[in-house]
């Protein structure tokens, strides 16, 4: 399929490049770092060779979210966003942008998101999971009340918010002790992000802000397969769930979340997601730099789904959600 849009496609600046170093073996660091830094050379060749018309770019992980000092986090976010705006301006026909945000300070994050959307033309935001705020040993999640003014700004601006993974903090990673291969994209990323998403659903956030659109990568971080059981476990027990949300979590999952194919190139998993949320809420992504553009594109172009669904997932859903001016 020609004209695909990828929207979990990362880059790095010099300040954040080292943040990606531990996710893959040292022997491939030179290759990985080259993928992250490049924007207009190999990346464009990979896109051209695999029918990807546009990538919506975002900063690598954990970057801003791992800076406990709110002022420093704000400075880095602005620096990365200004750099990205300059790069997009060179090829707006091939690249668009998601803002990095200093969620250590929700008011600063709101201001930066507003600046990026209204002044720089960004199409939304991406945050790399929880933030550390002042204390590097404490993860802070975005269902908490101090973030609701930020969510109001996201809804007001009517832009999507991509909830991207990061590893749990060391003291919360003891389940993986002795099994480091489970960290990162293999498992820990998905588990961490799924819990964060469930917290958002259960908090009542989407009752107060029903216009929010949250994106999850990697075919939904396992939630399409699990969301029914989250809602319906112990069905014989009255009032089994005790949370502020007014509806079952699966209803928010279907109404307020979009999923992407990033890094999860399996047709059976795609069909499960289609059955759970429908073709209008799934979008193509490759997960470049961690995965290959050709691996994503070859699989997706041949996946046993209808051509109508392929066109939606590959192009038109993203064009609609991100308000892209695509011919």
Q: Is the Cα torsion angle 264, 122, 254, 281 positive or negative in sign?
A: negative
Cβ neighbors of 307 (< 8 A, separation 6 or more) are: none
Q: What is the strand order of the sheet 125-128 is part of?
A: 125-128, 161-164, 214-216, 257-260, 282-283
In CATH, the architecture of 4-321 is Alpha-Beta Barrel (3.20)
CA 300 to the chain's CA centroid = 19
DSSP 123: -
Predicted structure pTM score: 0.97
Write out the chain's pLDDT in tens, 327 residues: 999 999 999 999 999 999 998 888 899 999 999 999 999 999 999 999 999 999 999 999 999 999 999 999 999 999 999 999 999 999 999 999 999 999 999 999 999 999 999 999 999 999 999 999 999 999 999 999 999 999 999 999 999 999 999 999 999 999 999 999 999 999 999 999 999 999 999 999 999 999 999 999 999 999 999 999 999 999 899 888 899 999 999 999 999 999 999 999 999 999 999 999 999 999 999 999 899 999 999 999 999 999 999 999 999 999 999 999 886
Three-class secondary structure of residue 90 per DSSP: helix
**What tokens appear for 323 in the block?**
């308000």
User: Closest Cα to residue 165, out of 183, 143, 147, 146?
Assistant: 183
Half-sphere exposure of 144 (CA within 13 A, CB side): 11
Query: What are the structural domain ranges in the chain?
Result: 4-321
**Residues forming a β-bridge with 56:** 96
């Amino acid at each position: 399929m020609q004209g695909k849009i990828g929207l979990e496609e990362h880059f790095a600046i010099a300040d954040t490049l080292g943040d990606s170093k531990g996710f893959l073996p040292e022997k491939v660091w030179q290759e990985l770092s080259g993928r992250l830094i490049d924007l207009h050379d190999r990346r464009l060749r990979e896109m051209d060779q695999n029918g990807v018309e546009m990538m919506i770019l975002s900063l690598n992980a954990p970057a801003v979210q791992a800076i406990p000092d709110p002022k420093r986090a704000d400075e880095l976010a602005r620096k990365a966003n200004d750099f990205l705006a300059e790069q997009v301006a060179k090829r707006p026909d091939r690249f668009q942008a998601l803002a990095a945000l200093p969620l250590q300070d929700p008011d600063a994050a709101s201001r930066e998101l507003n600046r990026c959307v209204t002044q720089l033309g960004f199409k939304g935001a991406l945050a790399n999971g929880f933030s550390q705020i002042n204390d590097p040993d404490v993860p802070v999640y975005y269902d908490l009340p101090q973030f609701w003014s930020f969510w109001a700004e996201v809804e007001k601006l009517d832009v999507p918010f991509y909830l991207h993974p990061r590893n749990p903090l060391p003291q919360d990673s003891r389940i993986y002790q002795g099994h480091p291969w489970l960290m990162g994209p293999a498992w820990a990323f998905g588990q961490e992000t799924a819990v964060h998403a469930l917290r958002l659903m259960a908090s009542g956030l989407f009752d107060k802000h029903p216009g929010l659109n949250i994106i999850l990568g990697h075919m939904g971080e396992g939630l399409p397969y699990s969301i029914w059981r989250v809602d319906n476990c112990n069905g014989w027990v009255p009032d089994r769930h005790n949370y502020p949300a007014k509806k079952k979590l699966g209803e928010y999952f279907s109404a307020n979340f979009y999923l992407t194919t990033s890094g999860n190139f399996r047709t059976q998993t795609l069909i499960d997601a289609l059955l759970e949320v429908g073709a209008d809420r799934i979008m193509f992504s490759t997960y470049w730099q961690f995965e290959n553009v050709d691996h994503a594109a070859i699989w997706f172009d041949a996946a046993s789904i209808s051509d109508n669904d392929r066109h939606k997932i590959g192009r038109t859903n993203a064009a609609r959600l991100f308000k892209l001016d695509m011919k």
